[in-house]
Each structure stands twice: as structure tokens, then as C-alpha cells.
């Protein structure tokens, strides 16, 4: 699908029209019709799976009562970058959404691409390195730092939303930051035990010894202090790389499950064809 025109600089009148027109609601029906259209135009299963995963990222951030519009898409791009995705990955997600908008006849809502000239690739933290960070924090008896590594390594939580990790939210099992994020059971148990031992009965779990909220610099310093003992490069010891590992792991699992579901479905259809199908056709015979 040609998307090049979405990069043209709009005129003042076009900008005014974009702002005045309503956004587009992303429905299940629209998404299914869009993906089916890709199949009809010969897109491979791998490409369609990528489009589906990109739309899943969009749905995770899009509130139920919100529409797709330029302001939202710009905010979404910034959120993806904050989560640790590279500009190239964000552009892939943007291209997917732009393709859907073109399919829906709403090119006026398409978003521009993120500049990638001079892009510095973000270091990739492996799961073994992540486990070494946890083990180092445990050996050094740095419990709060251990919990920070565990938090960003298991939840897709923006650093700026750390204050939303309250005792009440952890008890409920959900953190709103700004979308709803599930607190994994292992993390929930660790956080509640820590809060109980520190006498934190309500409010934010992560505070300094003086009761103030932890700032970005303090958190980065704490996690980077594990680098030498964990044998992990200091440039990988930060919330951004931990979150990137979290999302990459989840995407890998979803891709495997998606492939397994397709293979299982194909085997089911083959079995049904052997039972109730036109056997000669299934075995490659000529249709009469």
C-alpha cells in the first residue's frame, strides 16, 4: 500500500481540516477486514502476523472510548520510544496504522515517520544478563534495587509512572500507567512482602529513606551499581533496556503461540478434509 504521500507537509488549510474532522474508531470488524484485505493481496503469513502484533501494541495503549487521530498517534509514537522501542520499530508500527487508515479511507489521520538518521541502536539486554542483575542485587543485599530490576523486567511500566505503583494498586493486581498493566503474581508477592517489612501501608512502594519519591537519576544509579558484580555492561543497566527485554520476551511468546495456533488449525482442517472432504481433490486429483 503506498504510504509515501503521508510524509508530505500539509498546508494550513489541510491542517485545519484534519483538526476539524472526527477521528476513527478502531473496531474488531475494521481490523479483521483490514487483515483479510492483506491476505487477498497476497501478503505472507509472517507479514500479516507483524501487522497484527503492531495493532495489538496500538490497542494496549488506546482507551476504549478514544479514536485514532493525529494527536493520539503522535502521543503513541512517543510512548513507544519511551518503552524502549527503536525509531525503526516505531516506524514499522506507524506504517501498519497508516495502512489501516488508508484502507478505511482516512489518510487525513495518518502519522509521519520518526527520523532515523544518525540513530544510535539501543543495547539489547539478554535474559541471562537480567537474571545476573537480580542475583547480584540479592548477593549485595540491595533489596530495593532488586525490586526495581524485577519491576521493569516483568512489567511494561514507563519510568515516569513509578509513583503509580502503590500498595493499593499492587494489592488489586493492576497499575494504571496510564493504561492498565497487570502486576505478575511473583512481583506482587515480592512487593507486598517488602512494603509490609518497611511499614508501608499505603501510597507509593518505591520511596527514598526520607519518604520522597525516587527520581530518574536515583533509579539509574541504583541499577547501574550492579553492573560490575553482574558482569553486565553499564549501558544496559537502566529501566529502558529492562522494559525493552520485557516487551521483546512477550512478543516472542505471542508470536510462537500465534504460529502454534495456525499450525493446530491447519491440522484440524486437514483432519476434517480426510473425514468429510472431497478426498480426490485433497490428494491432488483433478476437480470434476
Q: Do domains 4-109 and 127-244 have the same CATH topology?
A: no
Q: Per-residue confidence at 280, pLDDT binned at 50, 70, 90? A: low
Report whether pLDDT(278) > 90: no
Report whether pLDDT(283) > 80: no
pLDDT tens digits, 136-183: 999 999 999 999 999 999 998 888 889 999 999 999 999 988 778 999
Per DSSP, the three-state class of 148 is helix
pLDDT tens digits, 67-100: 888 878 888 888 888 777 778 788 888 889 988 9
Name the residue ranges covered by the structural domains of the chain.
4-109, 127-244
Mean pLDDT of the chain: 82
pLDDT tens digits, 190-237: 999 999 999 999 999 998 887 788 888 889 889 999 999 999 988 889
pLDDT at 11 (0 to 100): 45
Report whether pLDDT(12) > 90: no
pLDDT at 121 (0 to 100): 52
Give mean pLDDT, residues 22-40.
87
Does residue 25 contact residue 67 with C-beta atoms inside 8 Å?
A: yes
- Give the DSSP per-residue string, 207-219: B-TTSPBPPHHHH
Does residue 159 contact residue 242 with C-beta atoms inside 8 Å?
A: no
Question: At what angle are helices 45-61 and 87-103 packed, to 10 degrees?
Answer: 90
Report whether pLDDT(15) > 90: no
pTM above threshold 0.75: no
Per DSSP, the three-state class of 48 is helix
Q: What CATH number labels 4-109?
A: 1.10.150
Q: What CATH number labels 127-244?
A: 1.10.443.10
pLDDT at 21 (0 to 100): 59
Q: What is the 3-state secondary structure of 54-103?
A: HHHHHHHHCCCCCCECHHHHHHHHHHHHHCCCCHHHHHHHHHHHHHHHHH
Per DSSP, the three-state class of 28 is helix
Amino acid at each position: 500500500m503506498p504510504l509515501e504521500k503521508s510524509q508530505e507537509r500539509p498546508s494550513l488549510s489541510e491542517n485545519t481540516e484534519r483538526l476539524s474532522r472526527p477521528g476513527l474508531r478502531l473496531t474488531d470488524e475494521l481490523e479483521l477486514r483490514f487483515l483479510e484485505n492483506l491476505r487477498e493481496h497476497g501478503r505472507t503469513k509472517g507479514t500479516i502476523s507483524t501487522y497484527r502484533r503492531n495493532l495489538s501494541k496500538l490497542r494496549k495503549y488506546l482507551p476504549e472510548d478514544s479514536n485514532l487521530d493525529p494527536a493520539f498517534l503522535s502521543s503513541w509514537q512517543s510512548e513507544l520510544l519511551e518503552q524502549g522501542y527503536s525509531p525503526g520499530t516505531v516506524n514499522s508500527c506507524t506504517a501498519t496504522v497508516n495502512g489501516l487508515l488508508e484502507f478505511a479511507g482516512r489518510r487525513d489521520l495518518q502519522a509521519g515517520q520518526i527520523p532515523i538518521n544518525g540513530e544510535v541502536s539501543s543495547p539489547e539486554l539478554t535474559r541471562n544478563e537480567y537474571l545476573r542483575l537480580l542475583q547480584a542485587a540479592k548477593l549485595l543485599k540491595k533489596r530495593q534495587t532488586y525490586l526495581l530490576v524485577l519491576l521493569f523486567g516483568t512489567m511494561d511500566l514507563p519510568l515516569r509512572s513509578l509513583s503509580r505503583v502503590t500498595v493499593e494498586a499492587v494489592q488489586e493486581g493492576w497499575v494504571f500507567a496510564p493504561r492498565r498493566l497487570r502486576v505478575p503474581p511473583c512481583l506482587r508477592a515480592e512487593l507486598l512482602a517488602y512494603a509490609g517489612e518497611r511499614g508501608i501501608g499505603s501510597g507509593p512502594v518505591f520511596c527514598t529513606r526520607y519518604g520522597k519519591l525516587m527520581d530518574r537519576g536515583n533509579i539509574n544509579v541504583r541499577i547501574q551499581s550492579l553492573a560490575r558484580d553482574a558482569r553486565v555492561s553499564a549501558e544496559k543497566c537502566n529501566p529502558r533496556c529492562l522494559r525493552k527485554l520485557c516487551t521483546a520476551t512477550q512478543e516472542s511468546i505471542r508470536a510462537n503461540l500465534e504460529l502454534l495456533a495456525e499450525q493446530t488449525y491447519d491440522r484440524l482442517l486437514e483432519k476434517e478434509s480426510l473425514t468429510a472432504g472431497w478426498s480426490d481433490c485433497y490428494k491432488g486429483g483433478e476437480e470434476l
